[in-house]
Structure 1
């Protein structure tokens, strides 16, 4: 018997509030912020094309990220029935195949909007939409891997929007400093995504999702996540010093010290403290992203 037939839905139309919950607005901030980091790092004045900035923010956050959340909830409805049975799909507030239809419709909307951002923006949108489905859907379902899954999400949350914002404003390929800094922050986001997997530990274990908390255990997974978050930022600091940006490097260094303090608290109770760290250490992490973007804006432009 399929999961959808096991879940006894009493509705034919979705609850509008449940649809908004399905799109998880709280997750829209990281890609929007990363897109803005790309805009800043391009070195192109925002006022030269404000509509591209606004369109890119809407595309990166509500549309592409919202679509990815809907796709993930649809493909994970059996896992959510264990971990979070009150989620929109397993609870029946988004009944039948509405979750799938929403994800497909928003995929089409994302591609249509991406066309307005030019070839670089459209190419990035195609990649982002494909990555969202590759992460969640069978037969690929990269979410099953504790390495490839968080890596892909980190890339699409931080690296891809940053690259896109810089490319769209500069109307060409970003310079190597922009690409390298965006890539380092995307790598570090792997650790953030690993911490996010703690909340689904039991359901992942039962359904064969080999997240790092499942395969390594919460304590070892948290230590790995902390190292993955910290080391790329040290690389950013070293690069900024090499590019004669000592003030920006020092500011990011202070933020890293704050994160290390927060990491020590996290490691005292990884599963219980992971949500707390997401509100403290991650805030310092994304603040450093914008500082780095301002640091390299005069090195931006096209390569």
Structure 2
């Protein structure tokens, strides 16, 4: 054979368009691990990447978005560099700092459950020590409250509204995860607390930062949080076996997989439709129609993925359907801002 003839192996190695499937899969696993997603296998050795995994960046998105919705519903947000930076600081407080605190705290108190359901998580796998986890919890909490206090000073609040929201949300996170209350032991109460934390609290922070936190906004966002309860239920399907063994009364444990899946999707759709009805009542008709149109593809994906197999399709469902929920939140925020809050 001529020396000038390239072998199949060398030709493949020299092709820039071909990537080893094992390398691609490994990169995907690393990304899932850093984001804190379900099924992210352990293997990381960098302590900072492990700390980031504990904070579950994938969960920051709805809280950051909640701040955007609150700023929109205030009716007073203007696109200036100062306002943009202040809004970014509020997102930092709600997402990386306080949501990171919540997720790290939850992993700390869930280490026994995770040893059953997800033994590859950082704490049960032993890649990070308990003192290191406790330090991370305290640093994130203090940083989040500190940023909240700075935002109150910028807004000129005589009453430190955002600081109180940060402290209240942090306390809610604690009693959600920690004994003796451990709200997550009760499927209804725990999931509503989670839904309110992801929708109402960051919305209130954005509203208070650029406008006034009114009783109407408080009631509407607490109502909207009932849709968030449905979103929170989705996370219970991945841990149903461990919850059952440890006696936690999640909705999939109490009602079974199929009934809990229906409860989940109905909570999401019905309470979004309720918000659309309210927008019609205050004559924000265009926004109400847009919100209803966003619910339609959401229902389609619920049927395609979640209702057929919630255990296997939970992540796929969240990726396909939940963007319509969060867009609907922004539509509602814009409508309320247009109506004067």
Aligned residue for 2:119, secondary structure, equals coil
Q: In the aligned structure 2, how far is the partner of 1:289 from the partner of 1:173?
A: 17
* 4+ residue runs over 6 A deviation: none
List runs of 5+ in structure 2 lacking aligned partners.
1-44, 153-159
Give the deviation of 1:106 after TM superposition.
Answer: 1.4
CA displacement 1:54-94 (0-9 Å, x = unmatched): 11100000000000000000000111111111111111111
Give the deviation of 1:181 after TM superposition.
Answer: 3.3
Give the deviation of 1:153 after TM superposition.
Answer: 0.7
Residue 124 (structure 1) aligns with? 165
Of structures 1 and 2, the larger Rg is shown by 2
Q: In the aligned structure 1, how far is the partner of 2:208 from the partner of 2:48?
A: 36
TM-score (structure 1 length as normaliser)? 0.90
> 50, 56, 71: which one pairs with 1:18?
50
Residue 264 (structure 1) aligns with? 303
Give the deviation of 1:293 after TM superposition.
Answer: 1.0
Aligned residue for 2:108, secondary structure, equals helix
Asked whether the equivalents of residues 70 and 202 of structure 2 are also in contact (C-alpha less than 8 Å), the reply is yes
Residue 58 (structure 1) aligns with? 92
Asked whether the equivalents of residues 201 and 213 of structure 1 are also in contact (C-alpha less than 8 Å), the reply is yes
Residue 124 (structure 2) aligns with? 90
The count of residues paired between Structure 1 and Structure 2 equals: 287
Asked whether the equivalents of residues 14 and 95 of structure 1 are also in contact (C-alpha less than 8 Å), the reply is no
Asked whether the equivalents of residues 238 and 311 of structure 2 are also in contact (C-alpha less than 8 Å), the reply is yes
Q: In the aligned structure 2, how far is the partner of 1:136 from the partner of 1:101?
A: 17
Q: In the aligned structure 1, how far is the partner of 2:231 from the partner of 2:77?
A: 31
**Alpha-carbon spacing, 1:14–1:105, altered in 2? closer, same or farther (3 Å):** farther
Residue 65 (structure 2) aligns with? 33
TM-score (structure 2 length as normaliser)? 0.81
Residue 239 (structure 1) aligns with? 278
Q: In the aligned structure 1, how far is the partner of 2:213 from the partner of 2:324?
A: 28
Residue 288 (structure 2) aligns with? 249
Give the deviation of 1:14 after TM superposition.
Answer: 7.2
Higher-RCO chain (CA-CA 8 Å, sequence separation at least 6): 1
Map of 1:1-303 to 2, 5 A cutoff? Answer: 15-46=47-78, 47=80, 49-118=83-152, 119-170=160-211, 172-174=212-214, 176=216, 178-265=217-304, 266-300=306-340
Asked whether the equivalents of residues 52 and 169 of structure 1 are also in contact (C-alpha less than 8 Å), the reply is no
List runs of 5+ in structure 1 lacking aligned partners.
1-12
